[in-house]
Amino acid sequence: MSQIFPESFLQEVMDRNDIVDTVSRYVKLKRSGSSMKGLCPFHKEKTPSFTVSPDKQLFFCFGCQRGGTIVNFIMLAENLDFVEAVKYLSDQAGLAIPEPSGAVEGEREKLRQTIYKINSVSGRFFYECLLADEGKAASDYIASRGLSQKTISRFGIGFAPEGNRLLAHLRDNGFDDEEIVQSGMAVRNDSGHIYDRFRNRLMFPIIDMRKNIVGFGGRVMDDTTPKYLNSPETVAFSKSYNLFGLNLAKNTKDDFLILVEGYMDVISLHQHGIDSAVATLGTSLTPEQARIIKRRKSEVIIAYDSDEAGQNATKRAIELLCEEDVVVRVLTVPGAKDPDEYIKKHGAGAFRALINSAKLQIEYKISKLQEQYNLDNTEDKVKYINSLATEFAKIKSPVEREIYVNRLASETGISASSILSEIDRLNIANERRTRAGAFRGVAPVGSLKTSDPKKENIVRAQRLLLCLMCADATVSEAAGSQLDSSDFEEGVNRTLFNLILSIRASGGEPDARLIVSQTEDAACAARILHDDQNIEDKPLAAKELIRLIIRERMVKKLFETATSSDVSQEQRICEMEKCLRKEVGTNE
């Protein structure tokens, strides 16, 4: 990966962005020996297993096995690819960015930049069409929805005319058909004919946090289906990783985000001064979007439509956001189908009042279950209690849980102790399922677990030696003179051994960050180089590790000799005696 950019540039990017400072914007870190520790931002955990090494400038999570440099962290935290992450960090440091040089990644980045340009030209085209005579019907429709010219301009709302007008316009601007199709602005049918994807629709640009138009949402102005049509997935756009309006909501002074369903809900709320509104892109909230929200705000108010589909989407959003430990409230819009309709009828002040009275998600669930069950019916009462016990089991605070349990006991006439017993039973069952399903079907990155404990010990010895080699020139020299790459496991271990010796041989000092950047498995490499276990006498420790690795080499040789059909009995004995003499020599 590092070959995409000059090594000197990548090193400067990492030098200018301290990993502890950067990670601390996402994770609360505490000192733990020579490292920093916190709750992993990439998986749910109660006990901190996420570590950052200030000295090595690496991170690793022993829970989900993710790790690497600050670039790898930003890739995960901001849902970016390698080139985008380097650019993100370059912007943070105020560095000019050289052109990527890697063949595959360079082409991918070139296409991404081309799509940004196509989308920018398309956005301007749609906006101008809205203002022209051909856009009068669309303008009238927008006016009927109460949007001001300032709002239209702020969101870049436009109009896609009939025919293939955009295709012709993009061709006139120098883009070829393949680029236009790959951008998603045009479609090629089975016969090879190319035509505009969006026709006779209001157009809403979807803008990322770096102000790039990554895609569009198109809305019909009549009963034609589909009502909404989004750009397809491209190298520049993924619906799961974007939220409409987040580029504007990032500047809100509110301590929360308001999650709504549609483009018009976001636009209408922003026009009325509620600038914390964002929307999913025609789909239910995704886990990726939940993580994006968490990184921006610690509280979310869900204000989905009041119909059945909206309420079902609310339930799913609650679960995803709670998994990310976001405080979730639910806002209901009385007498209106959605926030757009409500705020037009009652104004911003009334909507602010709804925000202030939004229920905590647990209160929302209680009210929905109360509507669902008849507590005068024994069967319904049991279902009601069991359903709430399941919800209460998710509450981390014992005090909060006891408050709700006592309330339920008072409401149903069932003792609090009985309800607590059911909660304990559910928690035990959940823990068993969690243990049984941990990493099921997933091979942990860089895992040391093998079916052979002796082999596992050798792999550990190799990895600790590699860490010491990176930190100490004397250790590198000793290891290089007594071992070769065949003594190390294929894959990351062998790659690191060769890289470290190569850097030392050229007179350089190994930089753990750059070494990790040059390995295919950055997480595993980061785990190996992350922690030298605070060993003070590195050469002495290395001597013992080298001895163990050499002994393993001899054992393999003995086994091969003993089981070889091409070697005589006399040769076997001679080879064994030679190995034993070497073994005695290593112990002296």
Domain boundaries, the chain: 2-93, 105-236, 246-363, 373-437, 453-587
Stretches where the chain sits below pLDDT 70 are: 1-3, 99-106, 430-454, 532, 559, 561-588
- Provide CB contacts within 8 A for 322, sequence distance 6+: 328, 361, 394
User: If you classify domain 453-587 with CATH, what class do you get?
Assistant: mainly alpha
For residue 446, the model assigns a pLDDT of 44
Q: Is residue 245 within 8 Å of 277, Cβ to Cβ? A: yes
pLDDT in tens, 156-206: 999 999 999 999 999 999 999 999 999 999 999 989 999 999 999 999 999
pTM equals: 0.66
What is the CATH architecture assignment of 246-363?
Answer: 3-Layer(aba) Sandwich (3.40)
For residue 588, the model assigns a pLDDT of 44
Q: Report which residue type is found at 205.
A: P
Q: Is residue 111 within 8 Å of 231, Cβ to Cβ? A: no
For residue 562, the model assigns a pLDDT of 63
For residue 576, the model assigns a pLDDT of 56
Q: Report which residue type is found at 530.
A: H
Residue 177 token pair = 């058909």
**d(C-alpha 267, C-alpha 244), whole Å:** 10
- Provide CB contacts within 8 A for 180, sequence distance 6+: 118, 167, 170, 171, 186, 194
Could you give the C-alpha distances from 429 to 137, 274, 319, in angstroms and in order?
Answer: 59, 43, 19
> What is the CATH code of the structural domain delimited by 2-93?
3.90.580.10
Give the number of C-alpha atoms closer than 13 A to the C-alpha of residue 149, restricted to the C-beta side: 1
CA 474, 479, 480, 483: dihedral to nearest 10 degrees?
170
What is the CATH architecture assignment of 105-236?
Answer: Alpha-Beta Complex (3.90)
pLDDT in tens, 340-380: 999 999 999 999 999 999 999 999 999 999 999 999 999 99
**d(C-alpha 271, C-alpha 105), whole Å:** 40
Peptide bond before 453: cis, by omega within 30 degrees of 0? no
For residue 244, the model assigns a pLDDT of 96
**Residue 259 backbone phi and psi in degrees, to 5:** -100, 115
